Amino acid sequence: MGEYFRDNGMHALIIYDDLSKQAVAYRQMSLLLRRPPGREAFPGDVFYLHSRLLERAAKRSDQTGAGSLTALPVIETQAGDVSAYIPTNVISLLMDKSVWKQSSFIAELDLLLTSDYLSVASGLPLS
């Protein structure tokens, strides 16, 4: 539905609450279907599944309608442990500069990526 608004020149926000629980449900389905498990018993394509969702968020150029879709993924961590498989996957997707540039994000976001704002805001070192 958000893509409809984006494609018609409007702005939309999609909140993915919660990608961790979605990944656990996907893991359970994959194990029941006897797909080979990977790290922490998650299937190998769980990273691809999340990237397909998050890469749909984009700001369109003025020539293609000027709409935007902003994604806000939520990740549940166990005792604040962001080194688990799913949190590190989602963080790496969000911090990948090539994805930001391909998605035509505005210049302020590139500035945000080159600053220490995210690291200071979360209290965690991000590389």
pLDDT digit string, tens, across residues 47-67: 899 988 888 888 888 888 888
Higher pLDDT, 65 or 105: 65
- pLDDT of 71 above 50: yes
Q: How confident is the model at residue 11 (pLDDT cuts 50, 70, 90)?
A: very high
pLDDT digit string, tens, across residues 107-121: 445 555 555 544 444
Domains and CATH numbers, the chain: 2-122 (3.40.50.300)
Arithmetic mean of pLDDT over the chain: 78
CB-based burial of residue 106 (10 Å sphere; 0-12 exposed, 13-18 middle, 19+ buried)? exposed
pTM above 0.85, yes or no: no
DSSP-assigned letters across all residues of the chain: -HHHHHHTT-EEEEEEETHHHHHHHHHHHHHHTTPPB-GGG-BTTHHHHHHHHHTT-EE--GGGT--EEEEEEE---STT-TTSHHHHHHHHHHH-HHHHHHTT--HHHHHHHHSSHHHHHHTS---
